[in-house]
Amino acid sequence: MTRIPNEINKVFEELKREIIWLHGRWIIYRQLFAESSRRLELLNECASSFFYIVQDVLYGEIQVSLSKLTDPAHSGKFENLSLEQLQLQLEVYGDKHLATGNRMILDELHLKCEPFRSWRNKRLAHLDLDTAMKVSPDPLPGISRQMIEDALDLIRRYMNQIEGQYDDSVTAYQYFAMRRDGDALVSVLRDGLWYRELSKEKIIPFEDRRHGKWHGV
């Protein structure tokens, strides 16, 4: 049973779910595209165009998610589920010292997320004409995996400060385990390539593939 005040916890728990799955998507991205050059060769051998699209979409979606998490508490008359919304609840209903410390973490996070917000506003969620035509006086900044790692680290610190203060515990977001993740997919692809090699070398009959459970799907 959590000791986080209810007004804070309602927003905290919803954000926690979002952040857990954000880490899940980032874990899968790293498993597929940041493990090794050898793994990239395997993906390209299997379906290079498909995995190019997956990489591009995942990378962009993670930047959009980081931007949404750092949105203001309100956009016009609408409220946002964001860390600023949680900070607002923390400042009203929570420990004042905790709120002050988390404000500093959140301010640092905003700075880290500025490049992602530029991408969201000009390319990922909207299509700015000058940016698309490559005539903008302010070209989009480069985005690295380390920039994303740094932002995620600050989000974990922010959330775990709250959980640690009230429940004397933390959540290991970065170790989120999934039963069927990127590594599981690579294992199947590896077996498929191995089977193809055996077929080419006529060690097993090519026709065998017609008798498998998944033939014809």
**pLDDT mean over 175-191:** 96
Residues in the chain, how many?
217
Query: Can you read off the two tokens belonging to residue 138?
Result: 């302010």
Q: So what's the pLDDT on residue 106? A: 98
Q: What pLDDT was estimated at residue 88?
A: 98
Beta bridge partners, 40, equal none
The answer on pLDDT for 211 being more than 90 is no
Under a CB-based contact definition with an 8 Å cutoff, are residues 87 and 12 in contact?
Answer: no
SS3 content of the chain, % helix, strand, coil (to 5): 70, 0, 25
Q: What are the residue boundaries of the structural domains of the chain, listed by start?
A: 6-178, 179-217
Place of tokens 């590594």: 183
pLDDT digits (tens, 9 = 90+) for 38-49: 999 999 999 999
> What is the overall mean pLDDT for the chain?
95
d(Cα 71, Cα 63) in Å, to the nearest integer?
12
pLDDT at 216: 72
Reported as a single tens digit per residue, the pLDDT across 91-111 is: 999 999 999 999 999 999 999
First to last CA, the chain: 47
Mean pLDDT, residues 138-147: 95
The mean pLDDT value for 182-198 works out to 94
The pTM of this model reads 0.92
When pLDDT is cut at 50, 70 and 90, the band that residue 200 belongs to is confident
Q: What angle do CA 109, 114, 115 make, to 5 degrees?
A: 125
Q: What is the DSSP string of 118-145?
A: HHIIIIISS--HHHHTT--SSPPPP--H
